[in-house]
């Protein structure tokens, strides 16, 4: 799977090497030994191998930064298109397999930067407003009817 030369000779060569990586992943699933609860017997369960950008880059002899830079740089021509296509294939395979329960949905969501929709990953600091009441607090209400009456006066 690891190449001794860099795939960056041409955009076409990079795409061909990426396809080789994808086909290798398809032909080499991951096996996990699991125990059948009813019988106690062990069996090997086959799982599809996820497409991973870092592994693809090792196979192609390029860096993750290189692929990401090419994907952002529209002036890179065919390299831009190939990098976009590589990222789309990886994204699609990971998302689709997570959606049907083959891959762990939580891990995949983090890997693909899916989540709360916040750019900060949902880790924004909370804002706490504190209101200082001077001259004492308002009188407490005795029952629900008083609460309704005070709301209607507003």
Q: How many helices (H) and strands (E) does the chain have?
A: 6, 2
The residues, any chain, with a CB within 8 Å of residue 12's CB and separated by 6 or more, are 78, 82
Give residue limits of the domains in the chain. 11-137
Return d(Cα 55, Cα 50) in angstroms, integer. Answer: 10
Confidence at residue 133, expressed as pLDDT on a 0 to 100 scale: 66
Confidence at residue 9, expressed as pLDDT on a 0 to 100 scale: 80
Return d(Cα 55, Cα 63) in angstroms, integer. Answer: 10
Confidence at residue 134, expressed as pLDDT on a 0 to 100 scale: 72
Kindly list the distances between the CA atom of residue 103 and the CA atoms of 47, 83, 112, in Å, as whole numbers in the listed order.
Answer: 9, 24, 12
The H or E element spanning position 46 is: strand 42-47
Residue 52 gets which letter from DSSP?
Answer: -
pTM: 0.68
CATH class of domain segment(s) 11-137 = mainly alpha
**What's the mean pLDDT in 82-99?**
95
Return d(Cα 4, Cα 103) in angstroms, integer. Answer: 31
pLDDT band of 96, cuts 50, 70, 90:
very high
Task: Tell me the backbone φ, ψ of residue 128, rounded to 5 degrees.
Answer: -115, 125
* pLDDT (tens digit per residue) in 13-68: 999 999 999 999 999 999 999 999 999 999 999 999 999 999 999 999 999 999 99
């Amino acid at each position: 799977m690891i190449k001794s030369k860099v795939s960056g000779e041409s955009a076409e060569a990079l795409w061909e090497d990426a396809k080789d990586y994808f086909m290798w992943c398809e032909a080499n699933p991951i096996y996990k030994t699991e125990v059948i609860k009813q019988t106690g017997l062990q069996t090997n369960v086959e799982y599809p191998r996820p497409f991973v950008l870092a592994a693809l880059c090792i196979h192609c002899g390029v860096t993750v930064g290189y692929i990401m830079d090419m994907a952002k740089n529209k002036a890179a021509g065919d390299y831009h298109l190939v990098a976009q296509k590589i990222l789309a294939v990886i994204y699609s395979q990971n998302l689709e397999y997570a959606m049907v329960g083959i891959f762990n949905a939580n891990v995949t969501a983090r890997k693909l930067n899916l989540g709360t929709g916040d750019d900060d990953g949902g880790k924004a600091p909370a804002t706490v407003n504190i209101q200082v009441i001077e001259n004492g607090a308002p009188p407490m209400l005795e029952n629900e009817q008083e609460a309704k009456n005070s709301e209607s006066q507003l």
